[in-house]
Structure 1
Amino acid sequence: MLICRPGSVSRRALLGTALGGLTLPRLAQAQADYPSRPVRVIVPWAPGGAVDTLARRVAQKLTDSMGQSFVVENKSGATGTIGAGEAARAAPDGYTLLAMDNTYAMLPYLFSRLPFDQATAFRPVTITAFSPILLAVGEKSPYRDLASLIAAAKKDPEKLTYGTGGMGSAPHFATLAFERAAGAKLYHVPFRGAGEAVIGVLSGNVDLVMISPGSALGNIRGGQLRPLAISGKHRVAALPDVPTFTEAGLPGFSVINWSGLAAPKGTPDAIVQRLHGEMVRALAAPDMRGFIAELGSEPGGIDPAAFSRLLSEEAARWREVAASGGIERQ
């Protein structure tokens, strides 16, 4: 224990003050030179998903524009908390970033303890893309529209089954929100990833799936999946024949997925703003806009303050859904 007499200043404190003064110019120069070495982009999910796909495309754009490699690393497990925890513990210097999605806003309602403070662990940079979510059934399903599916679910609660990529995943929460809006009750069958959930519908093991368009376009265009409705205010260009939930008769349901980029708390403003500016330019590029549109999504680009507000709003919304859906924290 260090004990200092009243009015005295320790040698360590004086030394720290002197060193701090010396390092300020270096810190400013480091920020001006950012990035001067490769940047890690941690994706807290397995390769191949929507978040991973977008993160890799954005990483390549940033590599091209900023002159240093942005390298995607997949750190999956525990509903994204393993990767998020590693990013949260990283130095706040802009050289470790987190590709997050709306599951991040749900974490406090899934776990009684997290390895980081979910509300303050990161500085949001911007949204990469906003993606609607669609409800789809298999090609042999008797349900050809949303109204008939809801009627069947109301008639026999928990008879209809839905697959998701896991307990507490974004599609799980989205389906709970759908149940609230429709006044129906479905039976949840969690799989090990969104891909397996789609296979569950294709094989007839589950009745329906809620999924982002980008993860289902191939099966929809091939006729193996039949989309009944899609969230959002308007139809998407990639699936022009699929009605919105409002058009299909359920105006009370609206869920939009998103993915974005964040930096550990304490990351300097100059670096956050630089990243935001580069992201906005990347998302405005014609090839990037076309890529995002092909996924059935819309480009983001909102500023860090707006992203922070979105996180707070999402956390409040999913708190209600978790409570009504009987989600028990682990």
Structure 2
Amino acid sequence: MRQINRRRMLAQMLALGVAPHALLARAQGLPNKPVTLVVPFAPGGNLDVVARAIAPALEQTLGRNVIVDNRPGAGGVIGATAVSRAEPDGSTLLVTTPNAIVVLPKMTRTSFKLASFSPVGLVSTTALVVVVKGNDTRFRDIAALLAHARANPGKVTVGHAGPGTTNHMAALQLEDAAKIRLNEVPYKGSAPALIDLMGGQIDLVVDQLTSSAPHIQSGALRALAVMSRERDPALSKVPTLREAGLANFEATTATGLLAPVGTPAAVVDAINGALRKVLAEGSVKSRLLSVGSVAQSSSPQELLASLQREDARAQTLAAAGRLKAPD
């Protein structure tokens, strides 16, 4: 009977000129209003680039307008807070890395925690890179940069997207692995950090390839190393930090979609299904690859398990005094 009714509804909606995906979205409980993808960082950063790469296809699949809304500030707290307080109906989603929702609450007082969100699904993974100004002659390679940092503890400035972000955590990981100490300069996202790097105000930036790639391609920036286990296909000539002598070093960025807690399971599943369909499309995969990211999908349960592991790791770091609240 359900199959007959669905076919009947499809026929009726098609007769009225309504697209089938709009009917299915309505049948699965999605509200008849635009879907907002909240990016908790400034335009031009990794999360912004990924959100804008999937938004057009997601809009077509859901049968709803999809809007990318940048809410930068406090390392992701402002955007994450807005989503945690939004109506739990699937119309407001957070585009985020794990750090914004599991690390920041260990560093500063927030009105949200991991339990404030319903995971929807993984979107992509992105390589992290160490970049310097294109014409900076001090650092011909990563070995030269590390040697300079060791000889000048606390004097080499590193920019990152904000306290508690993936970039920040990767910079801390680099300091520990290389036995160096850098002067950290937090920003409200990768884009303003890269602007200051190109302007010569700071020495290096730990960043996602998605936001750094255009500047690397133009020559304004130069990549010294990638932080992933293997070389990235988009930067095949750039060595890994493992190749630079930092054994077992690995750091990448995972991006996912989250909804406010209380969002009906049927709505979460509907959005997850649409997201999986989008990420399987060749054009979306190519678009993500072109900006340095790899499409990766998951179930809501798989994303939750991953976030819970990150939450436990952040708790261990916080207990050891490694996570400091921003000044």
TM-score normalised to structure 1 length: 0.83
- SS state at 1:216 partner: helix
User: For the residues of structure 2 that align with 1:147 and 1:45, how far apart are their CA atoms?
Assistant: 31
Distance 1:75 1:196 in 2: 14
User: Which residue of 119, 123, 129 maps to 1:124?
Assistant: 119
| Alignment-mate amino acid for residue 254 of structure 1 | E
Larger mean CA deviation between 268-277 and 139-148 belongs to 139-148
C-alpha separation between the residues in 2 aligned to 1:204 and 1:46? 20
Aligned to 1:149: 145
For residues 178-193 of structure 1, what are the structure 2 equivalents within 5 Å? 178-193=174-189
2:286 to 279, 290, 305: 290
* Code of the aligned partner of 1:178: L
Q: Does 1:174 align with 2:174?
A: no
Tell me which of 90, 104, 107 is aligned to 2:104. 107
Q: Is the 8 A contact 2:31 2:89 kept in 1?
A: no
Aligned partners of 2:161 and 2:80: how far apart in 1? 18
User: Are the aligned partners of 1:102 and 1:258 in contact in 2 as well (CA < 8 Å)?
Assistant: yes
After superposition, what is the alpha-carbon deviation per residue over 1:249-296, rounded to whole angstroms, capped at 9, x for unaligned? 212321111221111112222111111111111011111111111122
Instruction: State the match for 2:202 in structure 1.
Output: 206
Q: Does 1:267 align with 2:270?
A: no
SS at 1:238 equivalent:
helix
- Alpha carbons of 1:319 and 1:245: their partners in 2 closer, same or farther (altered >3 Å)? farther
Identity of aligned residues (%): 35
Distance 1:193 1:99 in 2: 14
What is the number of equivalent residue pairs in this alignment? 300
Question: Could you tell me which of 30, 48, 53 is aligned with 2:44?
Answer: 48
8 Å CA contact retained: 2:46, 2:190: no
Paired with 1:52 and 1:192, the residues of 2 have a C-alpha distance of 13
Deviation at 1:175, TM superposition (A): 0.4
- Measured in 2, the distance between the counterparts of 1:324 and 1:251 equals 24
2: CA distance between counterparts of 1:145 and 1:187?
20
Deviation at 1:74, TM superposition (A): 2.4
Inter-CA distance 265–87: structure 2 relative to 1 (3 Å threshold):
same
Matched to 1:129, the amino acid is: S
Change (3 A) 1:84 1:326: closer
1:307 to partner: Cα distance: 0.8
Q: Structure 2: which 5+ residue stretches go unaligned? A: 1-24
Q: Does structure 1 residue 227 correspond to structure 2 residue 223? A: yes
Residue 131 of structure 1 and its aligned partner are, at CA, apart by: 0.7
Unaligned segments of structure 1, at least 5 residues: 1-28
Offset at 1:30? Answer: 6.6
Q: Is 1:58 matched with 2:54? A: yes
Q: Are 1:137 and 2:132 an aligned pair?
A: yes
Q: Is the 8 A contact 1:177 1:321 kept in 2?
A: no
CA contact (8 A) 2:129 2:209 kept: yes
By how many angstroms is 1:191 displaced? 3.6
Q: Which one-letter code corresponds to 1:134 in the other structure? A: V
CA deviations on 1:211-236 (whole Å, 9 max, x unpaired) are 11121112212222221111222222
Letter in 2 for 1:41: L
| Cα distance in 2, alignment partners of residues 48 and 74 from structure 1 | 10
Distance 1:132 1:321, change over 3 A: farther
Question: What is the SS of the residue equivalent to 1:114?
Answer: coil
Question: Over aligned residues, Cα RMSD in angstroms?
Answer: 2.2
Amino acid at match of 1:328: A
Does the 8 Å CA contact 2:41/2:72 hold for their aligned counterparts? Answer: yes
Change (3 A) 1:306 1:319: same
Task: Pick closer, same or farther for the CA change 1:40–1:315 going to 2, 3 Å.
Answer: same
CA contact (8 A) 1:166 1:172 kept: yes
Aligned structure 1 segments of 4 or more residues deviating by more than 6 angstroms: none
Residue 57 of structure 2 aligns to a residue in which SS?
helix
Who is 1:195 aligned against?
Answer: 191
The partner residue of 1:162 within 143, 147, 158 is 158
Question: Partners in 1 of 2:316 and 2:157 — Cα distance?
Answer: 23
Residues 295-314 of structure 1 mapped to structure 2, 5 A cutoff: 295-314=291-310
Give distance in 1, aligned partners of 2:181 and 2:321.
12
Assess if the C-alpha contact under 8 Å between 1:213 and 1:296 holds in 2. yes
For the pair shown, the structure with the greater C-alpha radius of gyration is 1
Residues 226 and 241, structure 2, Cα contact 8 Å, conserved in 1 = yes
Cα distance per residue 1:123-176 (max 9 Å; x no partner): 111111111110112222322222232222223311222122334433222101
